[in-house]
Structure 1
Amino acid sequence: MKCGYFTCSKNALLSLNILYILISILVIGVAVYVKAVSLVSSYTIIGTAIGCGVFLLFLACMGFIGAVKHHQICLFFYMVILFLLFLVQFSLAIALLAVSTEGQKTLIERGWNSSSAKTKIDVMTVGSCCGLTHWQDAPQSCPSTLECCQGDIDSRYECCGGQSNNMISGCRCETCFDDLKEYLNIGYKVTGAIGLFISITEIIGVWLAARFRNQKDPTADPNAFL
């Protein structure tokens, strides 16, 4: 049987959804690992990552079952949800790839301001930095134990406690934006490129599901309607 007919379409759709299942398991696994080793302590961030992984796993299982059974209703809802997901992800991917440095800074400031003190401390600990764009951006409860604040320096360098004398000489810790902006820029580009790639696979999935849904199973009753 030539490729492009029922069996080929079915196998292509199955392969695509197996890929989605593997990606969803990877996302969930990474989120659990990050929480287990205490790299990130925010339950909101971890919960969001796990939620996205579970949603993708559910959608992939729906597409897989629809492909195996040639289930019309299952394929229809799979196609609709996948198309909506494509619109959202494609838009976000283009936005991430096109955003300027100032735009990145604005987005990061919004995220920082809406984050909990615990999340801010996680960022400062990983980057060994103080505050986002100024040491006063640091949470008041942040301990002065960052690596950049250590050493035989007088008490003026007690950084990130919100109570220091940094107004005289300035905190010797870099701000998190200055310290991490290069990595953040790379992160935006890589995330946007990955999102763009996945969104392309999603529109291919929509096309495959629509094509497969309208093909007749050669093993079914030839008098049955699709």
Structure 2
Amino acid sequence: MGCAGFTCSKHSLCALNILYVMVSLLMIGIAAWGKWFGLVSSFQVVGGVIGVGVFLFFVALAGLIGAMKHHQVLLFFYMIVLFMVFIVQFSVSSACLAINREQQDHLLEVGWNNSQSTQRDVEKSLNCCGFKQVDPNGPVML
């Protein structure tokens, strides 16, 4: 007839962290699968996704162990890490909302010009060439 004490919180936190563990393993697996089958040739993108997956795995593991063993210090550091992740996400979201359309186009073009491997992947998968202008007589990087 209700949860007494820490039982409901414990089970909720365990379920949430098990979900986080599954998401982190899914991120790592999909990134590795994409690199293995040649869908993504950029090592930086694959490394970044795998790095985020590993970070999420360890944070979820800390939360799971802290909840299962009622370890208050581990749960405190788990909350601190989640709060710092929230601050970073909030800051990035605010920065993304603060830029206008011209600044977005400029950032996209700078990113496009600085990544040759991503250019090849996008041009190959979308059958196009160039960022804004298309040169039908130009070489297509395959």
Q: TM-score, normalised by structure 1?
A: 0.56
Taking structure 1 as reference, are residues 96 and 26 closer, same or farther at Cα in structure 2, changes over 3 Å only? Answer: farther
Q: Which runs of 5+ in 2 are unaligned?
A: none
Tell which deviates more after alignment, 73-82 or 54-63.
Answer: 73-82
Instruction: Report the CA distance between 1:118 and its aligned residue.
Output: 2.0
Taking structure 1 as reference, are residues 37 and 60 closer, same or farther at Cα in structure 2, changes over 3 Å only? Answer: same
Determine the structure 2 residue equivalent to 1:26.
26
CA distance in 1, matches of 2:76, 2:82: 10
Q: Is the 8 A contact 1:135 1:160 kept in 2?
A: no
SS class of match (2:50):
helix
Determine the structure 2 residue equivalent to 1:127.
126
Determine the structure 2 residue equivalent to 1:16.
16
Determine the structure 2 residue equivalent to 1:142.
none
Determine the structure 2 residue equivalent to 1:36.
36
| Counterpart amino acid of residue 139 in structure 2 | C
| Counterpart amino acid of residue 24 in structure 1 | S
Determine the structure 1 residue equivalent to 2:114.
114
- Superposition RMSD in Å: 2.3
Taking structure 1 as reference, are residues 4 and 42 closer, same or farther at Cα in structure 2, changes over 3 Å only? Answer: farther
1:62 maps to 2:62: yes
SS class of match (2:109):
helix
Q: Is the 8 A contact 1:135 1:159 kept in 2?
A: no
Q: Is the 8 A contact 1:28 1:54 kept in 2?
A: yes
SS class of match (1:86):
helix
Q: Is the 8 A contact 1:63 1:74 kept in 2?
A: yes
Instruction: Report the CA distance between 1:104 and its aligned residue.
Output: 3.0
Determine the structure 2 residue equivalent to 1:208.
none
Q: Percent identity?
A: 49
Instruction: Report the CA distance between 1:106 and its aligned residue.
Output: 2.2
| Counterpart amino acid of residue 104 in structure 2 | Q
Larger relative contact order, structure 1 or 2 (CA cutoff 8 Å, min sep 6): 1
Larger radius of gyration: 1
Tell which deviates more after alignment, 67-76 or 83-92.
Answer: 83-92
Determine the structure 2 residue equivalent to 1:159.
139
Q: TM-score, normalised by structure 2?
A: 0.85
Q: Which runs of 5+ in 1 are unaligned?
A: 137-148, 150-156, 162-226
CA distance in 1, matches of 2:50, 2:93: 20
